[in-house]
Amino acid sequence: EAGVTQFPSHSVIEKGQTVTLRCDPISGHDNLYWYRRVMGKEIKFLLHFVKESKQDESGMPNNRFLAERTGGTYSTLKVQPAELEDSGVYFCASSPTRDRIYYGYTFGSGTRLTVV
Amino acid sequence: GNSVTQMEGPVTLSEEAFLTINCTYTATGYPSLFWYVQYPGEGLQLLLKATKADDKGSNKGFEATYRKETTSFHLEKGSVQVSDSAVYFCALSDWAGNQFYFGTGTSLTVIP
């Protein structure tokens, strides 16, 4: 089966610009997650979708970040306007609803965002 | 709250050396514990997991045992290879798997 696909793989933007990251989960996975790793630190949770609904968005850093999941399929994460501290690697993951612990999450390769 | 403390790197080993990467955790309830690996240019991959105390997860020669008494989940491998060079992340999840908590990652380089 195809894995979790993220694009772009790299993005360099100027402070104040807008960037949209996209994630295509594994087909049939109702759960979709966004995580972020900033400057070699720990990978931190941003939010969790179940189908098209936001289950938990407690990790979103501020209102410059907007995540959507259209029709319960792919998801986008928009940063507007971008700030320097938003630089990092953004990971997307998906999982089935049943037996999530047993199967774990499937992660994408990440989008490396650099804000200059 | 939940958190993971992981041995800082980078770690450089010669091929066939023994590897230990320490990981300790703080958690409420009964978490599951994981090791994820990120090879250069790739995404995070599940390496192994353990869902309850005293369970041992193993895969590709790597092992880790869920120690509740010491709140630890140290990763070990008896003989590393150059192909094991990667970044290793220790993680825990709540019982439902709704959220993962990761450590900072340990970069491993194995030299021939």
**Rounded percentage of chain A residues whose pLDDT exceeds 70:** 94
How confident is the model at residue A27, as a pLDDT?
Answer: 92
Q: What is the pLDDT of residues A82-108, one digit of tens each?
A: 999 999 999 999 988 776 666 678 899
The gap between the terminal CA atoms of chain A, to the nearest Å, is 37
Cα diameter, chain A: 42
Q: What is the pLDDT of residues A66-78, one digit of tens each?
A: 999 988 899 999 9
Question: Does residue A26 surpass a pLDDT of 90?
Answer: yes
Q: Which residue has the higher pLDDT, B43 or A60?
A: A60
How confident is the model at residue B98, as a pLDDT?
Answer: 78
Distance from the B97 Cα atom to the nearest Cα atom in chain A, whole angstroms: 6
Residue of B47, B49, B87, B99 to mutate, testing the A interface (most A Cβ within 10 Å of its Cβ) = B99
Residue of B5, B6, B102 to mutate, testing the A interface (most A Cβ within 10 Å of its Cβ) = B102
Chain B segment 81-100 residues within 8 A of A by beta carbon are 89, 91, 93, 95-100
Degrees, nearest 5: CA angle B70-B54-B94: 75
Residue by residue, DSSP assigns B1-67 as: --EEEE----EEEETT--EEE-EEEE-SS--EEEEEEE-TTS-EEEEEEE-STT-EEEETTEEEE-B
Q: Do B49 and A109 touch (CB under 8 A)?
A: no
Contacts of A41 in chain B (CB under 8 A): 104
